[in-house]
Amino acid sequence: MSETTAPVTTAASVTAAPAAGRARAARIALRTLTVLLALFYGVASALPKLIAHPSAVESFDTIGWGSAAMYIIGVLELAGGIALLVPVLAGVAPIALGALMAGAFVVQMSYFDGENAATPLILIVPLALLAWTRRRSNADLVRLVKRRV
């Protein structure tokens, strides 16, 4: 007589597999979103300001802020894009970029009659999602800062 062994499946293991698959898919989607936002802020948003592209110069001249503000905002956007990719800053970076986008919305409404006001509003949504999902890294950052002080 030969013995055969069949894998034993319990109800817990049957339901755990799809949940683990969804969790993995969610992590991949969040990482993809993070990389896309980092690229957007680094390349599409900060770069034109940092190289003084004529469209960026014209926009800041219209506002009356000049080139210094253009470079400062470009550096903030680039720093925020990079910070999105740094694990310990992953929770605070979307909050900071969201605040920057709130300011961009106000500027678009005030100086440009809402011409591109939808862009910062649209960007606030994925930033809020990242801030919410990465809120625990803020606690890690606070512990790190407290340890250094």
pLDDT at residue 16, rounded to an integer:
65
**Average pLDDT for 15-30:** 86
**Predicted confidence band at 149 (pLDDT cuts at 50, 70, 90)?**
confident
**Predicted confidence band at 18 (pLDDT cuts at 50, 70, 90)?**
confident
pLDDT in tens, 84-110: 999 999 999 999 999 999 999 999 999
Q: Residue 133: CB partners within 8 Å, gap ≥ 6?
A: 30
**Predicted confidence band at 2 (pLDDT cuts at 50, 70, 90)?**
low
pLDDT at residue 49, rounded to an integer:
97
- Is 141 within 8 Å of 91 (Cβ atoms)? yes
pLDDT in tens, 136-146: 888 888 998 99
Task: Report residue 118 as tokens.
Answer: 């939808």
Residue 4 has pLDDT above 80, yes or no: no
Residue 111 has pLDDT above 60, yes or no: yes
CA distance between the termini of the chain: 71
pLDDT at residue 19, rounded to an integer:
84
pLDDT at residue 130, rounded to an integer:
96
pLDDT at residue 43, rounded to an integer:
96
- Is 139 within 8 Å of 89 (Cβ atoms)? no
Residue 15 has pLDDT above 70, yes or no: no
CA distance 1 to 9: 25
